[in-house]
Protein backbone atom coordinates (compact mmCIF):
# COMPACT_ATOMS: atom_id res chain seq x y z
CA UNK A 1 0.00 0.00 0.00
CA UNK A 2 2.88 2.37 0.70
CA UNK A 3 4.09 2.09 -2.89
CA UNK A 4 0.68 3.00 -4.22
CA UNK A 5 0.59 6.11 -2.03
CA UNK A 6 4.05 7.11 -3.21
CA UNK A 7 3.08 6.66 -6.85
CA UNK A 8 -0.09 8.72 -6.40
CA UNK A 9 1.83 11.47 -4.58
CA UNK A 10 4.49 11.53 -7.30
CA UNK A 11 1.83 11.89 -9.99
CA UNK A 12 0.14 14.67 -8.01
CA UNK A 13 3.42 16.56 -7.62
CA UNK A 14 4.23 16.08 -11.31
CA UNK A 15 0.77 17.39 -12.23
CA UNK A 16 1.04 20.36 -9.89
CA UNK A 17 4.39 21.37 -11.35
CA UNK A 18 2.92 20.89 -14.81
CA UNK A 19 -0.02 23.15 -13.98
CA UNK A 20 2.31 25.91 -12.78
CA UNK A 21 4.47 25.57 -15.88
CA UNK A 22 1.38 25.59 -18.11
CA UNK A 23 0.06 28.76 -16.51
CA UNK A 24 3.43 30.53 -16.76
CA UNK A 25 4.06 29.36 -20.30
CA UNK A 26 0.63 30.31 -21.60
CA UNK A 27 0.78 33.75 -19.99
CA UNK A 28 4.44 34.64 -20.52
CA UNK A 29 6.17 32.30 -22.91
CA UNK A 30 3.98 31.21 -25.78
CA UNK A 31 4.15 34.56 -27.56
CA UNK A 32 7.94 34.39 -27.48
CA UNK A 33 8.21 30.76 -28.55
CA UNK A 34 5.57 30.87 -31.30
CA UNK A 35 5.04 34.31 -32.88
CA UNK A 36 1.98 32.95 -34.68
CA UNK A 37 0.26 32.52 -31.30
CA UNK A 38 0.07 36.25 -30.63
CA UNK A 39 -3.52 37.30 -30.09
CA UNK A 40 -4.86 33.75 -30.33
CA UNK A 41 -6.33 33.31 -26.89
CA UNK A 42 -9.10 30.85 -27.75
CA UNK A 43 -6.79 27.91 -28.43
CA UNK A 44 -4.54 28.31 -25.38
CA UNK A 45 -6.77 26.31 -23.00
CA UNK A 46 -6.53 23.42 -25.43
CA UNK A 47 -2.77 23.28 -24.82
CA UNK A 48 -3.04 22.87 -21.06
CA UNK A 49 -3.28 19.03 -20.91
CA UNK A 50 -0.31 18.58 -23.20
CA UNK A 51 1.82 21.09 -21.34
CA UNK A 52 0.94 19.52 -17.99
CA UNK A 53 2.02 16.11 -19.24
CA UNK A 54 5.12 17.27 -21.11
CA UNK A 55 6.27 20.12 -18.87
CA UNK A 56 9.96 19.10 -18.72
CA UNK A 57 10.20 19.26 -22.51
CA UNK A 58 8.28 22.55 -22.61
CA UNK A 59 10.62 24.11 -20.04
CA UNK A 60 13.70 22.82 -21.81
CA UNK A 61 12.55 24.15 -25.18
CA UNK A 62 11.39 27.47 -23.71
CA UNK A 63 14.70 28.09 -21.96
CA UNK A 64 16.68 27.01 -25.02
CA UNK A 65 14.82 29.46 -27.23
CA UNK A 66 15.15 32.27 -24.68
CA UNK A 67 18.88 31.65 -24.38
CA UNK A 68 19.23 31.64 -28.17
CA UNK A 69 17.47 35.01 -28.47
CA UNK A 70 19.63 36.69 -25.83
List pLDDT tens digits, range 2-37: 999 999 999 999 999 999 999 999 998 888 888 888
| Residue ranges per structural domain of the chain | 2-69
Tens digits of residue pLDDT in 28-68: 888 888 888 888 888 889 999 999 999 999 999 999 988 88
pLDDT at 70: 61
Q: Please calculate the CA angle 47-30-17 and round it to the nearest 5 degrees.
A: 60
Residue 69 pLDDT > 80: no
DSSP 38: T
Predicted TM-score (pTM) of the model is 0.84
pLDDT at 34: 81
29/31 Cα distance (integer angstroms):
6
**Burial bucket for residue 2 (CB in 10 Å: 0-12, 13-18, 19+):** exposed
Contact 22, 48 (CB under 8 A): yes
Amino acid sequence: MDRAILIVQAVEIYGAIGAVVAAAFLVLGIDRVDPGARGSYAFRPLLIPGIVMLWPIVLWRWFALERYRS
